[in-house]
């Protein structure tokens, strides 16, 4: 079916969302199961250190539809009052690409995610409430340069019912440097969510290295541009296309 519709690919290649905040509007290859995983450390203020590991599991279910599961498998918050460790929240969702890039228009997609509040609420690590996120994404390849744009609306559950609301805008640019080495830069910002989460703007830079088409490594550093966001944030991780599940099933 994939070959008949032009979705099937002879060679598996990764479709990373890492290392930027924005996600690509391109979807994981048809039938391919792909994993992204990484380590993050944030210093939001003096005397506070936040460390986490987590990632995303993606499946190219159809030509233009991707299913995804985002999880934080470990989270540690160190502050003057003590240390708190927990698993993080889990997000489940899908992305639908409704337009593929042509000369005058980029690829465009809509993504929806719902948060299952599995993180502890101690020290404000987790909210304990269900959240919803809806994202419009656009991605354009201009020669060797790729531009990704995301606009996300968040509904964050709160005590007493109802939701707090904010929006996030992100713009990222990536470009190869030499052989498998590449560079990515991004600016993004959030509007105010509530009294405890103010509006902010931030920026990051990262290096990527394509070991082979199905394996991409990354690492970088983020610096907040205003108060209210990440003060300093270091990260590294990888994206790996595990297998084409549809092809494996067909062989069996």
Q: What is the mean pLDDT of residues 203-211?
A: 97
pLDDT in tens, 138-170: 999 999 999 999 999 999 999 888 999 999 999
User: Does 180 have pLDDT greater than 50?
Assistant: yes
User: Does 85 have pLDDT greater than 80?
Assistant: yes
Alpha carbon separation from 181 to 68, 175, 177 (Å, rounded): 27, 9, 6
Please tell me whether residue 248 adopts helix, strand or coil conformation.
helix
User: Does 231 have pLDDT greater than 90?
Assistant: no
Please tell me whether residue 192 adopts helix, strand or coil conformation.
coil
User: Does 235 have pLDDT greater than 90?
Assistant: yes
Q: How many CA atoms lie within 13 A of 141 on its CB side?
A: 10
Q: State the pLDDT confidence band at 250, using cuts at 50, 70 and 90.
A: low
124 phi and psi angles, rounded to 5 deg: 75, 20
pLDDT over 70 percentage in the chain: 95
- What's the mean pLDDT when you consider all of the chain? 92
Topology of domain 32-251, CATH: Porin (2.40.160)
pLDDT in tens, 2-26: 554 457 667 899 999 999 999 999 9
Q: How many CA atoms lie within 13 A of 215 on its CB side?
A: 3
Supply the pLDDT for residue 50.
93
8-state DSSP, 9: -
Supply the pLDDT for residue 4.
47
pLDDT in tens, 27-37: 999 999 999 99
d(CA 30, CA 192): 38
Q: What is the mean pLDDT of residues 187-202?
A: 94
Residue extents of the structural domains in the chain: 32-251
User: Does 172 have pLDDT greater than 70?
Assistant: yes
Supply the pLDDT for residue 200.
95
User: Does 1 have pLDDT greater than 60?
Assistant: no
Q: What is the 3-state secondary structure (H, E, C) of 115-142?
A: EECCCCCHHHCCCCCCEEEEEEEEEEEE
Supply the pLDDT for residue 248.
66
d(CA 250, CA 252): 5
List Cβ<8 Å contacts ≥24 apart for 217-220.
218/16, 218/18, 218/19, 218/38, 218/184, 219/19, 220/19, 220/184
Q: What is the mean pLDDT of residues 193-214?
A: 95
């Amino acid at each position: 079916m994939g070959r008949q519709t032009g979705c099937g690919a002879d060679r598996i290649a990764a479709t990373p969302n890492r290392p930027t905040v924005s996600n690509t509007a391109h979807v994981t290859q048809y039938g391919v199961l792909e994993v992204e995983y990484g380590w993050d450390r944030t210093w939001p203020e003096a005397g506070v250190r936040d460390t986490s590991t987590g990632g995303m599991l993606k499946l190219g279910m159809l030509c233009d539809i991707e299913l995804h599961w985002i999880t934080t498998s470990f989270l540690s918050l160190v502050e003057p009052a003590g240390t708190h460790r927990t698993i993080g929240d889990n997000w489940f969702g899908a992305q639908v690409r409704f337009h593929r890039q042509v000369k005058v228009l980029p690829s465009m997609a809509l993504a929806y995610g719902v948060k299952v509040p599995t993180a502890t609420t101690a020290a404000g690590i987790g909210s304990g409430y269900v959240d919803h996120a809806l994202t419009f994404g656009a991605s354009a390849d201009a020669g060797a340069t790729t531009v990704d744009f995301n606009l996300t609306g968040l509904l964050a559950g709160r005590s007493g019912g109802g939701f707090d609301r904010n929006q996030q805008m992100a713009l990222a640019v990536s470009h190869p440097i030499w052989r498998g080495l590449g560079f990515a830069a991004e600016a993004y910002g959030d509007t105010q969510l509530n009294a405890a989460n103010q509006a902010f703007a931030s920026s990051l830079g990262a290096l990527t290295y394509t070991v082979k088409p199905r394996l991409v490594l990354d690492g970088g550093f983020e610096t907040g541009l205003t108060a209210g966001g990440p003060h300093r944030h270091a990260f590294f991780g990888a994206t790996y296309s595990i297998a084409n599940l549809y092809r494996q099933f067909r062989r069996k």
